Chains A and B, each alone.
Chain A
Amino acid sequence: MERLLPFDPPAIGGHRLAVRLGAGGMGVVYLARSPHGAWCALKVIRAEYADDPGFRARFRREAELASRLTGWWTVPVVRADADADSPWLATAYVPGPSLAEAVARPGLWPGAQVRGLGAALAEALDGVHAAGLVHRDVKPANVLLAVDGPRLIDFGIARAVGATALTADGSVVGSPGYLSPEQARGRTVGPPSDVFSLGCVLALTVTGRAPFGTGGAAAVLYRTVHEEPDLDGVPAGLDRIVRRCLAKEPEQRPGARELLDVLGGFTPDGWLPEGLPARVAARAARVLELPVPEPTTVDGPSSVTVPEAPPSPTRRRLLVAGSALGVTAAGGAGAWWQWGRNRASANTGSVHRTRHVIALLGSPDDPFYAAQERGARLAVEQHNQDAGRTVDLVLRTADDRGTAAGSADAAVRLADDPDVSVAIATGSNATAPAALTPCKKARLTLLITRADTEKLNGVNTTTALLLRSTQTLGPHPVLRYLNRVVEPARTVVVHDLATEADSLPTVRIATIYGKLNNETAVEDVAADEDFTGFARRIAVRPRDAVLFAGTSPSRAAACARALRNAGHKGARVAGEHVLAAPFLAVGEGWRIGTGYIDANADSRTRAFAAAFRSRYERAPGPWAAEAYDAVRFAAHGLASIGDDGRSALRPGLLRKPWQGITRVMGFDAVSQYFQVEKDNGGFLYRVTGGTARFVARADDIGKQT
């Protein structure tokens, strides 16, 4: 780390620069603080390179490709601006030394640690390759050592397989000593080239020597192509593996996935050889000593977010559960991530179709399960009847016994089955979260249709995708209803302490986060208290609206009864969790915000409802259309990964919004929250005659008469 130099700008694209991390021919890398206060590594390219229009295109592509990677051992690109005078790119900052600094002496890295290192890097490459990319510059300087494992960085010259248009193929890019023979010869390279480079890195880590020697680039390249590697001192078991990676013929090398299996897994405990953890920690600690850069006003034209979220600096936005809230997920420029193989054969009706198993997790005893299973089955059947399909789908069900333990067990079984390509959790807040960990461990994408607990907010550290917003946003359709239709002078938010934890997010969204336009007041009602005292107080202002923030149907019923008895005249609203018999019996006139549509009552779901009725001789119940959408969303992603394996599914699903019949499946680029800008899967119902009747999609609230 070096101090900033006098000619370094104070900030770039709103990122306050702290120190220089390094400088090279292409430009400078700074440690910077993002506008959000996060540390990041910001790489600025010298303006003279940017003069070449081809360069900007390549840079933009680099940023876009690197932002696709979501693996644990790769470093996400956070922001980039290809159009700045000096184009720049920011990635999350990894405050560790590079492997190049940590291989100074042979014998420092024992075999077990090298295997762990290799496994993590193989896993990183597997993710890179699954995304259709080749890193092309795997070398010790591009491997950073963090406390919890290594990180593969700098996709500076990564590009999609076969995307040769942006550079003249035939030129050698990369670092001699770690280049594959095919790279050294300037030939087109694929994933095996990275495996070769990884083999070189592992050999160097063990022996402290580059396996093809040092010296002039030409000599090193010659040895790479023509001579056997120098692996003296590599332990026998590892020698065999490294030797396979260093095979001259690309097809004789193991794939990254196979390499990962052969090396065994990675365990973060004790992954660093003796002496290194202290160094890694010391490096990380140096960040703590840095002065926080002076807050500067955000300069100049705003940068381009990767991918495609146009920043329009207005007021500070609610980042709660959503960055999703703020981001328009729809975006123009980025090409959808369709790759390769089966695209060409898409409409040929050709014989080979990959078969994907979609597993539906739920309990037949769950009142909302049967409708979801039927909806999912219908989606699979319709898909398999489409002559233009590129993959075949199979629906499998897994009983979660309606419990968290059962959900975890079922998820483990599904995760262990390599035939399962994706799982869909249909259960409640009590069951669905338990499936997260097993699915994550096995890189199995888990789509969640119904659960909405705040425990699911951290989806970007899992393999799950939530197809709705969580309780963090409260019952947002009724908030919109209050704002657009009722416009009460005041809304009283009833904080039911009987379900305090579930009630609190709704209280916060309505008050602290200011999502209700008019005045709010909070009434805490203790768990052992009924609602008569509250109702008496509100009777003084009977036109005030009431937002019941709790989730218990019987408590909501008690609240409804008390309000009725007190002669309350204003609007009364709540979220979907109160919808059960006790409340429905007394909740006449209440408006309820839900995450499920009534497919029978909406024009865009009418065709689905008709197909459902003709298939099952009954109308689709709650969540049927959502499960249908979940399967179709999964199928859409599976069609795009070809034979790349299930771990490639989730990054693809995240890339671009997909339009379903119930909602747009779109996700924030960073937080991966379900987007709630438009067509957000929120619906308004009205309780009448003991049932909840569909009123409108969230977008339409207040639009119709």
Chain B
Amino acid sequence: MAGRRPVVGVAVGEPKKGSGTSTGPSPSSSASAVADEPYTLAEEQAPKTRGEAVAFVRGLDVRPDYFATGYRKRNPFESDPAQWAVLGEDCLWRREALPETALASLTRAFEMPEQGGKEAVYVSLTVTVHENIVAARRDMAGALESALRCPEQRLNATDVVRGLYSRVDASTDLRNAVTEDDLVEAGEWVVDGENEAHPFDWYKFRVGPVTVAATARHGAGRSKEEDTAVSSDLAKGVGFVAAEIDNWGAAGSEGAADDSGGTDGATDEPAETKGAEQ
């Protein structure tokens, strides 16, 4: 593991922005494979009001196949964008109203249905617009802190995540810094009353004042390699969302047309995805 040659699959998957390929507009301009600029979103281009922020998070097209072929939307698919999940002093995740510093937070739920003896994988992806970069950085720091504070976290009535650790894995050499901040945690989740625990991944990237977080709860029946593939595909998908956010900024926020200002709409998210978004 350690010291092995870099796994190309990881590098291949990391979305990188820019042109300069054979198909790009200026093929001769690219002289370097070096990823120089991480994905970002300038504060002044980011949504400013709650209404804009809700339209923004709803407007992002997060395709199920961002996380690999075979993923489907779960029902209900989207959460209430006026709430987010908070890890309490008791290490229990709860949905609470957004604080002043967060403008909108939308969680989408996906699953890879059970197939061929491999139990389902549940992915939840949360995009949160903070009022500014400082608030987003605080959120990143808080996420790291919360994992230290609660090595075991209860997601809901039946599911517990434990053994969470921050991972900077030498075996993922060539893992590119896709965004300005990133946080990778991994652990295992277990359902009360069951003996077997399964892998749990948690990625969180910051793109300017926006944070993108994803979790995956792996079902049973996968080999170590297959679980690793699920994790790296998840990271890839989070990168795709980051790319989209960067793109949105670059295109000049024309996409945020629908200004509903709404905190209505979405139903409560399924209990299992609680806590997944932080």
Interface residues of A (CB under 8 A from B): 35-39, 72, 75-76, 92-96, 144, 146-148, 151, 280, 284, 287-288, 290, 292, 295, 298, 305, 309-328, 454, 457-461, 472-473, 476-477, 479-480, 483, 495, 500-501, 504, 507-509, 512-517, 522, 668, 670-671, 673, 676-678, 680, 682, 698
B228 to chain A, nearest CB (A): 13
A427 to chain B, nearest CB (A): 22
Provided the pairs A37-B175, A309-B33 are in contact, do residues A515 and B11 lie with their beta carbons within 8 angstroms? no
Of A319, A479, A678, which one neighbours B23 at CB under 8 angstroms?
A479
Closest to B246 in A: A316
A94 touches B23 (CB 8 A): no
Interface residues of B (CB under 8 A from A): 1-9, 11-25, 27, 29-39, 63, 65-66, 69-70, 165, 167-170, 173-177, 180, 240, 243-244, 247
Provided the pairs A311-B32, A315-B17 are in contact, do residues A517 and B25 lie with their beta carbons within 8 angstroms? yes
List, sorted by A's number, 28 A–B pairs whose CB atoms are closer than 8 Å. Answer: A35-B34, A75-B3, A92-B6, A93-B3, A95-B170, A309-B33, A311-B31, A311-B32, A312-B31, A314-B18, A314-B29, A316-B16, A316-B39, A318-B18, A319-B12, A322-B21, A322-B33, A325-B20, A457-B9, A473-B22, A483-B23, A500-B65, A504-B69, A508-B15, A508-B240, A514-B19, A515-B19, A673-B8
A317 touches B8 (CB 8 A): no
The 7 A-B residue pairs whose C-beta atoms are closest, nearest first, are: A326-B33, A323-B33, A94-B3, A146-B3, A479-B23, A284-B2, A38-B173
A320 touches B22 (CB 8 A): no
Closest to B244 in A: A512
A475 to chain B, nearest CB (A): 10
Provided the pairs A320-B16, A458-B9 are in contact, do residues A682 and B22 lie with their beta carbons within 8 angstroms? yes
Q: Is the interface of B mostly helix, strand, loop or mixed?
A: loop
Of A92, A319, A461, which one neighbours B14 at CB under 8 angstroms?
A319
A318 touches B2 (CB 8 A): no
B177 touches A37 (CB 8 A): yes
A317 touches B3 (CB 8 A): no
B7 to chain A, nearest CB (A): 7
Given contacts A314-B36, A325-B33, 18 further A-B contacts (CB under 8 A): A35-B34, A35-B177, A72-B5, A94-B2, A147-B3, A311-B34, A315-B20, A316-B37, A317-B34, A325-B21, A326-B21, A459-B8, A461-B7, A472-B12, A479-B23, A480-B22, A500-B69, A517-B24
| Residues of chain A with a CB closer than 8 A to B25's CB | 483, 517
B22 touches A37 (CB 8 A): no
Closest to B40 in A: A316
B11 touches A671 (CB 8 A): yes
| Residues of chain B with a CB closer than 8 A to A512's CB | 15, 66, 240, 243-244
B31 touches A328 (CB 8 A): yes
| Residues of chain A with a CB closer than 8 A to B37's CB | 315-316
B199 to chain A, nearest CB (A): 17
B35 touches A316 (CB 8 A): yes
**Interchain CA distance A95-B172 in the complex, whole Å:** 13
| Residues of chain B with a CB closer than 8 A to A290's CB | 168
B12 touches A295 (CB 8 A): no
**Interchain CA distance A673-B6 in the complex, whole Å:** 13
Provided the pairs A35-B177, A319-B16 are in contact, do residues A313 and B168 lie with their beta carbons within 8 angstroms? no
| Residues of chain B with a CB closer than 8 A to A311's CB | 31-32, 34
**Interchain CA distance A516-B19 in the complex, whole Å:** 9
Of A38, A76, A328, A476, which one neighbours B21 at CB under 8 angstroms?
A476
| Chain A-chain B contacts (Cβ-Cβ < 8 Å), number | 232
B24 touches A483 (CB 8 A): yes
A284 touches B170 (CB 8 A): yes
**Interchain CA distance A671-B176 in the complex, whole Å:** 13
| Residues of chain A with a CB closer than 8 A to B176's CB | 36-37, 319
Interface-centre pick from B7, B23, B65, B174 (highest chain A CB count, 10 A): B23
A309 to chain B, nearest CB (A): 7
**Interchain CA distance A295-B21 in the complex, whole Å:** 28
Provided the pairs A146-B2, A513-B16 are in contact, do residues A323 and B29 lie with their beta carbons within 8 angstroms? no
A148 touches B35 (CB 8 A): no
Closest to A285 in B: B2
**Interchain CA distance A698-B27 in the complex, whole Å:** 11
**Interchain CA distance A326-B27 in the complex, whole Å:** 9
**Interchain CA distance A2-B86 in the complex, whole Å:** 38
| Residues of chain A with a CB closer than 8 A to B20's CB | 314-315, 317-318, 325-326
Closest to A150 in B: B3
B35 touches A284 (CB 8 A): no
A36 touches B174 (CB 8 A): yes
B33 touches A514 (CB 8 A): no
B24 touches A38 (CB 8 A): no
B173 touches A522 (CB 8 A): no
**Interchain CA distance A476-B21 in the complex, whole Å:** 9
**Interchain CA distance A606-B2 in the complex, whole Å:** 50
B177 to chain A, nearest CB (A): 4
| Residues of chain A with a CB closer than 8 A to B24's CB | 483, 515, 517
A476 touches B23 (CB 8 A): yes
Provided the pairs A500-B65, A514-B247, A515-B19 are in contact, do residues A295 and B9 lie with their beta carbons within 8 angstroms? no
**Interchain CA distance A516-B114 in the complex, whole Å:** 35
B2 touches A677 (CB 8 A): no
Of B38, B65, B175, which one neighbours A316 at CB under 8 angstroms?
B38
A95 touches B247 (CB 8 A): no
**Interchain CA distance A323-B18 in the complex, whole Å:** 13
Closest to A478 in B: B23
A152 to chain B, nearest CB (A): 12
Closest to B243 in A: A512
Of B5, B16, B169, which one neighbours A461 at CB under 8 angstroms?
B5
**Interchain CA distance A676-B36 in the complex, whole Å:** 20
Closest to A322 in B: B33
A502 to chain B, nearest CB (A): 9
Of B8, B168, B177, which one neighbours A457 at CB under 8 angstroms?
B8
B24 to chain A, nearest CB (A): 7
A459 to chain B, nearest CB (A): 7
**Interchain CA distance A483-B65 in the complex, whole Å:** 25
Of B17, B22, B70, B174, which one neighbours A325 at CB under 8 angstroms?
B22
A310 touches B31 (CB 8 A): yes
A460 touches B5 (CB 8 A): yes
| Residues of chain B with a CB closer than 8 A to A677's CB | 22, 27, 30
| Residues of chain A with a CB closer than 8 A to B35's CB | 35-36, 316-317, 319
A319 touches B11 (CB 8 A): yes
